[in-house]
Structure 1
Amino acid sequence: MKGITAMVVVQIATAGLNILFKLVVEDGMEPRVLVAYRLFFATLFMLPLSFIFQRKKRPEFTWSLFLLAFLSGLLGAVIPSILTITGLALTSATFTSAAAVLSPLITFILAAFLRMESVRFGSSEGKAKVFGTLFGVGGALVFIFYRGKDIHLWSTHVDLVKQPRDSSRDATNHHISILGALLIFGGNLSYSLWLLLQVKVSKRFGGPYWNATLMNMMGSIVAVLVALCWNIDLKEWKLGWNIRLLTIAYAAIVISGMVVAVNAWCVESRGPLFVSVFSPVGLVIVALVGSFVLDETLHIGSIIGTVVIVGGLYLVLWGKNKEMKIITTTSDFIEPNKTSKDITLNNLPTLSSASVP
C-alpha cells in the first residue's frame, strides 16, 4: 500500500504541474524563460540533496562527464520542456498528458530501430509490443483528428484561463492544433532518446540525485542561453508573487525534488514496471481537473483516443513483463528488473515526470 499511495501522490503532483504550465503560458510567460528558471531552481534544490543523500556516490568530474551531462540536459530537459510547454499553449493539458503516456511506446520503437530492444514478432510478447505500439499511435491520431459529441462533466465551470479562446480552432472539427501536437510529440521523442542515453551512461553520473543534478545544471545553462538569444527583453525575466513564481517553485521543488526521490524509491523497491503502470492515473486526473478549472471540453474522440492509448500502453507493458519473466527463468545470471532493455522501456518516470510535463 505504501508503493501504491506513493505513486498516486506522484501522479497527482505531475497532473498539477501540467495544469500550472497551462495557466502560466496563458498568462503570457515566455516558455523558454520558464524552462530556464525551472532548471536553474531545480539545480539549486537538487545539489544539496545530492551531497546529503549520495555523497559517497559523487562522480568524478571530468570533461567527458560534463559533455555527457550537456547531452543529457539537452535531450532530457531543455528540448522536451520547451517543445512541450510551447505545444501545451496550442493544445490542452489533457492532450499533453495523453501524449506523455505514449513515451514508453516511442522508446520501444526507437530501441527496436537501434537494435537495443528485441521484437520477436513470432512470439506472443513480441506481438503484444508491436500491436500495443500501433494502438498507441492510432489512439493519438483519433485524439487529434476526431472530435465527436461534447461531454460536459460539470454543470458549472471555473475557467482560470483569462485569455480568449481561438474561435477559429473551436469552429473546426480538429480541436487539437496540429502544430501543437507535433511540438509535444517532438518533446516526447527527445525524452525517449534521453532514456536510451541513460542505458549507456547513467552509471557514470553516480546515483539518481547526481544524475538529475547534472542534467538540470547543464540544462539550465543551455536554457538561459537559448532564452537570451531568442528574446533579449529583460522584462520577461522579472518575477513577482504570482502564478509564475508558484509554477517555477512547484516544478523545481515538488517535481524535480520530491517526485524524483519517490520515483527512485519505487523503482528500487518495486521495479520500473510498477512505476509505468500508474502513468494513466495522471491522465485521468488532468482530464477531470482541466475540464473543471480550465474549461477544457472533453469530446467523444478524446475519450476514445485516450482509452486506445492506455490500452496500447498496457499491451506493451504486458509483453515486456512476460518477456522479462522468460529471460529471468532461462538465465540465472540476469537479475530481475535490471536489464538495460527493461530500463529502456519502463524507466520513463524515474527521474523526471516533469522533464516532460
Structure 2
Amino acid sequence: MANVDFVPFLAMVTVQVGYAGMMITSKLAMDSGMNPFVLVTYRQVFATLATIPFALLLERKTRPRITVPILLHIFLCSITGAFMNQVFYFVGLNNSTPTIACAMGNILPAMTFLFALIFRQESFGIKSKAGQAKVIGTLVCVGGAMLLSFYHGPYIGIGDSRIHWTYANKMTDKHPTNKGNFLLGPFLLLSISAAWALWFIIQAKLSRKFPAPYTTTTLMSLMASIECAVTGAAIEHRVTAWSLSSGIRLISAIYAGCICSALAFCVMSWCIERKGPLYTAVFNPLLLVITAILSWALLQEKLTVGILVGSTLIIAGLYCVLWGKDKEAKAKIAEEMEAAVMCREREDLELQLPSHRNGSNVHHDPN
C-alpha cells in the first residue's frame, strides 16, 4: 500500500465518508416527511451555489474555452451522473427494499470495468499479474458487498455505542410502507450502476479535453438543478412540501449539495483525471462499510458477522485492485522510459554515422 499514490486514495476514502454522512442525514430528513425528489432538487441547487465561487476565482485564468462539444459532454454528465443516478435511485428504492438497493449499487466497479473495457479505457490483460489482480479484486469487492447486504448472521457482542444520536429516535416515517413493483425496482437500481459507470467514462474523456473540474461541476450541477426541478415539480405539486423550515431538512439539503455533489464531484473528477475511471469506482463498496460503522455509532444499529466478513472481503478486494493498478502504472512508466532510452540511442547513432562518413573521406583523401 505504501507504493500506491496516497493522495487520490485518501481523497476517495474521504468522498465515501461524506456519502455515508449524507445517507444518515437524508434518511432522517425523509423520515420527517421530506419528499426525496425535493431533496434531490435542493441538493443540486446548493451544489451549484457552492461551486460557482471556486469556478470563477480559481479557474479564471486557466479555464479553457467552453465550446459546444464541451457543453454537450457536460450535459451528458449531468444526465448520467446527477439526474438519472439520483432519480432512478429513489424511484427504485420506492419499488424495492433498502437491502436490494445496497446490493445492486455495489456492482458499480464491475459495471465500470465492463464499460471501460468497451471504451478501451482499461485493458483486460488477463495474462499479466496486474490484469489478474484487477479482475479478481473487482470480483472479491462485489462479492463482499453482496455478502454484507444479503447475509447478516449472529450479532457481534461489541456493546452499544456511547455516542448514540438521540435525535434519530424522534424521527418517524410519515408515509405508509409501499411494497411497490419488485421487477421495476431492481431494474432501476441496476440502471443506477450503468448511469454511474457511463458518467465515469464520459468524465474521463471530458477531463482530458476540458481540465477545469470546478467549472465542469458548476455547469453540471446547474443543468441537473433544472432537470431535477422539472421532475420534482411534476411529482410534488404542494408548495409546503418545498419548505426548508425544518432544521434537519435544511441541514440535509445543504450537506448533500455542498459536500456530496459540489466537493465530491470535484474530487472524483480530479481522481478520474489522475487514476482513471476504474480506480474511482472501486471505492464505492467502502460506502457500505463506513455506513455500517456510522449507523452503529449514531443510530444504534447492530453489527453482525455478515458485516464483518463482507467488510474484510471488500478491503481485500480493494487492495487487490489498487495493487494491480499500481503495478500497471509502474509497467507503463518503465515502458515509456525504455522507449525514451531507445529513441535517444537511435538519435545518437544517427548523429555518429555522418561523422564516421566524414572521417572516412578525410582518411582516403590522396592530397
Same fold (TM over 0.5): yes
Q: Check the 8 A contact 1:101/1:310 in 2, yes or no.
A: no
Q: Counterparts of 2:270 and 2:140 in 1: how far apart (Å)?
A: 31
Q: Counterparts of 2:157 and 2:191 in 1: how far apart (Å)?
A: 31
Q: 1:258 to 1:134 in 2, by over 3 A?
A: closer
Q: 1:278 to 1:113 in 2, by over 3 A?
A: closer
Residue of structure 2 aligned with 1:91, choices 98, 102, 110: 98
The residue type equivalent to 2:303 in the other structure is L
Q: Check the 8 A contact 2:203/2:272 in 1, yes or no.
A: no
The residue type equivalent to 2:198 in the other structure is L
Residue of structure 2 aligned with 1:69, choices 45, 58, 74: 74
Q: Secondary structure at the match of 1:332?
A: helix
Q: Check the 8 A contact 2:204/2:272 in 1, yes or no.
A: no
Deviation at 1:59, TM superposition (A): 4.3
Deviation at 1:51, TM superposition (A): 0.6
Q: Check the 8 A contact 2:116/2:201 in 1, yes or no.
A: yes
Residue of structure 1 aligned with 2:25, choices 20, 25, 29: 20
1:163 counterpart residue number? 172
Deviation string 1:221-252 (CA, Å, 9 cap, x unpaired) is: 11111112233233321211411111111122
The residue type equivalent to 1:44 in the other structure is L
Deviation at 1:43, TM superposition (A): 0.8
Residue 121 (1) aligns with residue 130 (2): no
Q: 1:25 to 1:179 in 2, by over 3 A?
A: farther
The residue type equivalent to 1:119 in the other structure is F
Deviation string 1:189-218 (CA, Å, 9 cap, x unpaired) is: 311210101222234444110111111111
Residue 332 (1) aligns with residue 341 (2): no
Q: Secondary structure at the match of 2:172?
A: coil
The range that moved more, 296-305 or 59-68, is: 59-68
The range that moved more, 124-133 or 142-151, is: 142-151
Q: Counterparts of 1:222 and 1:333 in 2: how far apart (Å)?
A: 50
Q: Counterparts of 2:150 and 2:70 in 1: how far apart (Å)?
A: 44
Q: Secondary structure at the match of 2:300?
A: coil
1:53 counterpart residue number? 58
Residue 222 (1) aligns with residue 231 (2): no
Q: Secondary structure at the match of 1:151?
A: coil
The range that moved more, 326-335 or 191-200, is: 326-335
Q: 1:84 to 1:153 in 2, by over 3 A?
A: farther
Q: Check the 8 A contact 2:289/2:307 in 1, yes or no.
A: no
Residue of structure 2 aligned with 1:234, choices 214, 232, 239: 239
Q: 1:22 to 1:128 in 2, by over 3 A?
A: same
Q: RMSD of the TM alignment (CA)?
A: 3.9
Q: Check the 8 A contact 1:277/1:314 in 2, yes or no.
A: no
Deviation at 1:117, TM superposition (A): 1.7
- The higher radius of gyration belongs to 2
Q: Check the 8 A contact 1:91/1:181 in 2, yes or no.
A: no
Deviation at 1:282, TM superposition (A): 5.5
Q: Counterparts of 2:10 and 2:312 in 1: how far apart (Å)?
A: 23
Q: Counterparts of 2:28 and 2:155 in 1: how far apart (Å)?
A: 23
1:39 counterpart residue number? 44
Structure 1 alignment gaps of length 5 or more: 170-176, 336-357
Q: Counterparts of 2:153 and 2:321 in 1: how far apart (Å)?
A: 28
Structure 2 alignment gaps of length 5 or more: 1-5, 341-367
Deviation at 1:46, TM superposition (A): 0.8
Q: Counterparts of 2:59 and 2:318 in 1: how far apart (Å)?
A: 33
Q: 1:271 to 1:112 in 2, by over 3 A?
A: closer
Deviation string 1:295-334 (CA, Å, 9 cap, x unpaired) is: 3333222332232233222222211211111111012399
Q: Counterparts of 1:188 and 1:251 in 2: how far apart (Å)?
A: 19
Q: 1:236 to 1:116 in 2, by over 3 A?
A: same
The range that moved more, 297-306 or 148-157, is: 148-157
1:174 counterpart residue number? none
Q: Counterparts of 1:217 and 1:307 in 2: how far apart (Å)?
A: 39
Q: Check the 8 A contact 2:200/2:272 in 1, yes or no.
A: no
Residue of structure 2 aligned with 1:303, choices 282, 294, 308: 308
Residues 178-193 of structure 1: matches in 2 within 5 Å?
184-193=189-198
Q: Counterparts of 2:204 and 2:279 in 1: how far apart (Å)?
A: 19
